Chains A and B, each alone.
Chain A
Amino acid sequence: MIKEAIVEFQDFSFQYYSQSEPTLHDINLKIFAGEKILIVGPSGSGKSTLGHCLNGLIPFSYRGEIKGSLKIKGFETQGQDIFKLSKMVGTVLQDADGQFVGLTVGEDIAFAMENDNVPQPEMRTRIEKVARMVDMQDWLTSSPFELSGGQKQRTSLAGVMIDDVDLLLFDEPLANLDPATGKTAIEIIDDIHKNSQKTIVIIEHRLEDVLHRDIDRVIVVNDGRIIADMNAHELVSSTILTENGIREPLYVTALKYAGVKVTSDMLPGHITTLKTEFSRDALNIWHNAIKQDMRQNTNSSILEMENVSFSYDGVRRILADINFDIREGEMVSVVGKNGAGKSTLSKLLCGFEKEDQGTIRYKDRDIQDQTIKERAEIIGVVMQNPNQMISKAMIYDEVALGLRLRHIPEEQITQRVEKVLKICGLAPFIEWPISSLSYGQKKRVTIASILVLDPKIIILDEPTAGQDFRHYTEIMEFLVEINKLGVTIILITHDMHLMLEYTPRAIVLAGGRKIADTAASVVLTDAHVIEDANLKETSLFNLAKMAGIEDGTHFVQGFIDYERGLKNR
């Protein structure tokens, strides 16, 4: 049987009118009906642009010059409008909140049908049916505020499946989900693929998480070109991933550290298919040879919460009886699923909200009576979205803002701003407008604008959300540098790599309570904590089990220590 190509790019190039260079060059790619494809690539590689070409946002919403041909189901897309394309290609965007058009689940699923003038009774039966497919049938009257991130995403999925499209396109489906929900999302996509035979295209840079289930082909995009088009096993055992700034699965990294030559015969594409019989000895030898990192932070306490409880409405406690003690110079992550109380915790620390009970101490001194402004001298907070903080046009002014508001003489300001910009690697841009910076650089500007106030503690909310491996590493290494200067860093995150690689200690919240406060390697291997905090077991732990290493937690810790040893060399 000859397979039918549902998507066919031929010598396809695209250049945004606003850019001086093409974003996509000479793309030649065929996707066959019923295939499940993963497109990976670092930020700015052109993978999202490729997705926009498939769903018609290019050239409908984003204008530019197209060369070559792109056919979907045999029709040249340039001759069609976005509406015709939307009947063939259904798109689930990455921000499940932002794409929620309706006020309730039912209404959101109905949106495409409303635009098609489908009469109400028919709408209701079709919604009922499609909601069942994504298991949202009991939530039809719920508003987005009542839903979890995963439920919102499933609603969006139902909203595009209502049209019986041929191809489902997922644009970074994992970006805003916690690890457990992300895992479920990949399973749902896989189930839909198996049950409906629809063609699936997933655009994502978190390779390992997508490879939780089968993928027919992985396409690697970088600098606007297709670098590779192969199956997961071949890709993972090649050098393409590291060369193109995509994180390889952690278990593959561990195998390489152990000196194992990873080949496609070992079926290393998925941890579940990996054959370990040849690597077992190497792993054991490597593991036993790792020198344990015995360094302990023995500094005195800098920030302490004692029996802190908080509630917004006086009824439901968002935080209950929280106790922890952070030492000076520590780098700690606070993890837990959405609604576990992480953001509220940071609001209490900054004085944005007042605790109902309990005490917060800075260096053994109660800071209850300090205003937001006074606490800001000690504790700085960096919000997740840099656009929520930036209020000046020029980098210098933005960083100087906090000092100017404190009426510090301008010559001192210049000195301090220059110093901070140097630390943040932004010194060459001192006279640049902020609008010319990339997202990651903007993030740095916001960190710089807090750092300039010389706080002793910095809280960062999801500092690496939506960042590819290179930017992630850049931001985190930068934070490590700041940490080495003596600044205590608290990271609110659900990124498990971040926890494992950068924070020796993790505080885990679930349902407003602290359920763990220990090493990241312990957290990510403890089944109860993983379950309660919507985390996911790290693949290193699975690898340890497969290699017959009994103490999996110890193995994970060994990996962390080994990696840190490499970095410190």
Chain B
Amino acid sequence: MNMKARLFSYNLIDTPIHRLSGLTKLICFLFLTFAVMFSYDIRMILGVMLFSLLILKLSRIRYSQIRLMILYVLIFLLTNAVISFFFAPEQGVSIYGTRHNIVSLFGVTTLTWEQIFYQVTKFFKYASVIPLGIIFLLTTNPSEFASSLNGIGVNYKAAFAVALTLRYFPDIQRDYHDISLAQQARGLDLSHKAKFTDRFKNSLLIVIPLIFSSLDRIELISNAMDLRGFSKSKTRTWYTSRKLNKQDYFALAISALIFVATILVSVFVNHSRFYNPFI
């Protein structure tokens, strides 16, 4: 198997994080995500982010595995920040109720410390979800993930569909890689030398065979599943589902604590979802 071709897939190693049940990881993920989504307190957000980076380290995920994903998200967040500044440059002022001008831009709008603070907070808020998502996706066995989704009440067919998608990701990536090479051998130019429109058209030359070979795969797997009784009854059991153990409860407790702490800080310390350093 070509490791160079694999970018993004569940990796089987043994760490305390991998050992947690999928259900635990899903609930912890939701707790922590809700915590940072609820709070606009940068101290709490940075706290959660540091915590999740620590967990990322603990789960031995290599930077090379996630580089591409991180790059895309950062580009998205930065564009988002620029756009939201030009659409609502006074958002910070209206939230924090004070005005500390820094500089006037293009004579039409003013950059304020409030706006910067608000946007930095927002940036980290979204950015802190990335390590959480990465940890969840890369340390959870797709089948176990499906069983956890089913465990919290999601229809098992939908849950299984998600798991199958995750499971076939590496296969499809490998197909993509092979097809791309074969098409390049026929003269396809994917380098930056080609014009953008050409590159778009050229990428279709890879995507179309990829779709057709994936359709073959789907027909086969759905036949195989039918033949072994998938979807015959309303419920199913899971070979990979696990009973929660001590570590699971510990992880659940920590993330619940963080969640509750953010809410308490908002209610009793900040008296709002925002932390206001300007008053």
The chain A residues found within 8 Å of chain B, CB to CB, are 55-57, 60-61, 81-83, 86-87, 91, 93, 95, 98-99, 101-103, 106-107, 110-120, 123, 127, 143, 145, 159-160, 312-313, 347, 350, 352, 372-373, 375-376, 380-381, 383, 385, 387-392, 401-402, 405-406, 449-450, 453
Contact = CB atoms under 8 A, between A and B. Distances in A.
Interface string B182-209: 1111111100000000000000111011
Given A350-B185, A391-B183, 7 more contacts: A101-B224, A113-B239, A115-B228, A120-B238, A127-B239, A376-B184, A380-B185
Contacts of B182: 381, 383, 388-389
B212 A102 contact: no
Contacts of A376: 184-187
Contacts of A380: 185
Contact of A350 (B181, B206, B208, B231): B181
Interface residues of B, number: 51
Nearest to B181: A352
A401 B186 contact: yes
Q: Closest 6 CB pairs between A and B?
A: A405-B187, A99-B224, A110-B239, A98-B220, A402-B186, A83-B232
Nearest to B167: A103
Nearest to A377: B187
Given A82-B227, A106-B239, A388-B175, A313 B3 contact: yes
Contacts of B189: 373, 405
B4 interface: yes
Given A91-B227, A388-B213, A402-B186, A102 B143 contact: yes
A385 B1 CA distance: 18
Contacts of B179: 383, 388-389
B58 interface: no
B237 A57 contact: no
A93 B220 contact: yes
Nearest to B2: A312
Nearest to A85: B227
B221 A98 contact: yes
Contact of B185 (A83, A312, A381): A381
Contacts of A145: 1
Contacts of A127: 239
A119 B141 CA distance: 20
Contacts of A91: 227
Interface in B221-239: 221-233, 235-239
Given A86-B228, A103-B143, A376-B186, A117 B208 contact: no
B108 to A, nearest CB: 49
A390 B207 CA distance: 10
Contacts of B167: 103
Nearest to B216: A387
B221 A373 contact: no
Nearest to A385: B213
A159 B228 contact: yes
Given A103-B142, A112-B228, A115-B229, A390 B184 contact: no
17 contacts: A56-B227, A57-B227, A95-B220, A99-B223, A99-B224, A101-B225, A103-B141, A111-B225, A115-B236, A116-B232, A143-B12, A376-B187, A387-B212, A388-B175, A389-B182, A390-B212, A453-B187
Nearest to B142: A103
Interface string B48-73: 00000000000000000000000000
B119 interface: no
Contact of B237 (A106, A117, A381, A389): A117
B224 A383 contact: no
A388 B185 CA distance: 13
Given A98-B224, A115-B230, A453 B141 contact: no
Contacts of A116: 229, 232-233, 236
B221 to A, nearest CB: 6
Nearest to A382: B182
Given A83-B232, A98-B217, A98-B221, A119 B237 contact: yes
A529 to B, nearest CB: 26
B237 A123 contact: yes
A132 B235 CA distance: 29
